[in-house]
Structures are given as C-alpha cells and as structure tokens.
C-alpha cells in the first residue's frame, strides 16, 4: 500500500468522527430544546387554566425522562434504553387513567395496557440486571473493525 494512503485514511476517519460528533451535538441540542419548549408549553397551559390533573403531571414526568435521556447522552455518548421504557410505562399509565376518566369503568383495553406495563417493567428489570451483572463496554473502537481484509489480503499488507 502506498505511504500516502495512510495519512489520507487517518484524515478521513477523523473527519468522519467529527461530522458524526457534530451531528449528534446539534441534534441533541435541538431535541433538548424541543423537550424544554413542550414541557414549558404544557406547564404554562396548566398554570393558565388552573387545572392540574394526574394526566398532566404524568406528561411532565415524560418530559422529565426525555430531558434526562438527552443529558445522559451528552455525558456518556450512550443512549439509555431503560429511560425509553420508563417513558413508555408512564405514557401507558397516562393512557389508562385517561380511559378510566372517559369511561368511568374498566374494560379489556385497560387490562391490555396494564399487561403492556407489566411486560415493559419486566424488560426494564432484565436490562437493569444485565447492565449490573454483565457490564459491556462498547464504544466506537469496539464497533469498528480493527483488522479489515482488503480485497482478500491479510491485514497490514
């Protein structure tokens, strides 16, 4: 392999990592701003109407979890999947309360939603158990191929 290719590949790889980092940073700022805006709008609406229901409070918890996800991703460069499960559990709980408030009786759809909450709680338990007992350190280095085969040639040739 010509000696000029190695520096070009290094520059290409560094530029690619920078572009990905920049995209993640901008996207996280936009997502964080959207979460703050939506939570602020919801809180403002609750404050103006003077009506705070349990559904509204659960909605604020959903925004809190989304904001926490953005913050954790900023600090660790990892997507906390458990937080998505917590958001789904909170959203299903909010939906069940809304169905009960609308119908004033329990029906089969509430049983299905409760089963989904139980399933998600079990999934969160499995993820928590797995991350505690079987930690896995995967980063960009673990996701790239350190020993590529170039057109059937062994690495380094």
Q: Above 50 in pLDDT, residue 149?
A: no
In a domain, 109, yes or no: yes
Which residue has 């998600």 as its token pair? 120
Note the pTM of the prediction, 2 decimals: 0.71
In a domain, 147, yes or no: no
In a domain, 57, yes or no: yes
Write out pLDDT tens, residues 85-138: 999 999 999 999 988 888 877 788 899 999 999 999 999 999 888 877 877 665
Question: How many structural domains does the chain have?
Answer: 1
Gyration radius from the chain CA atoms: 23
The overall average pLDDT reported for the chain is 83
Within 10 angstroms of residue 29's Cβ, the number of other Cβ atoms is 12
**In this predicted structure, what is the pLDDT of residue 33?**
95
Our separate counts of H helices and E strands in the chain read 5, 0
In a domain, 66, yes or no: yes
The fraction of the chain above a pLDDT of 90, given in percent, is 44
In a domain, 42, yes or no: yes
In a domain, 140, yes or no: no
Per the structure, the complete domain to which residue 56 belongs is given by: 5-135
In a domain, 157, yes or no: no
In a domain, 152, yes or no: no
């Amino acid at each position: 392999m010509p000696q000029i290719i190695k520096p070009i590949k290094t520059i290409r790889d560094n530029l690619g990592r920078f572009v990905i980092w920049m995209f993640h940073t901008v996207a996280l700022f936009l997502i964080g701003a959207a979460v703050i805006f939506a939570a602020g709008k919801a809180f403002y609406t609750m404050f103006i109407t003077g009506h705070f229901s349990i559904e509204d409070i659960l909605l604020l918890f959903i925004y809190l979890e989304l904001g926490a996800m953005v913050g954790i991703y900023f600090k660790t460069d990892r997507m906390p999947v458990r937080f998505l499960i917590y958001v789904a559990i909170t959203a299903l709980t909010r939906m069940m309360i809304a169905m009960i408030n609308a119908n004033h009786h329990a029906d089969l759809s509430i049983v299905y939603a409760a089963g989904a909450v139980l399933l998600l709680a079990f999934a969160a338990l499995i993820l928590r158990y797995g991350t505690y007992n079987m930690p896995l350190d995967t980063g960009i280095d673990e996701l790239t191929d350190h020993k590529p085969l170039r057109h059937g040639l062994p690495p380094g040739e």
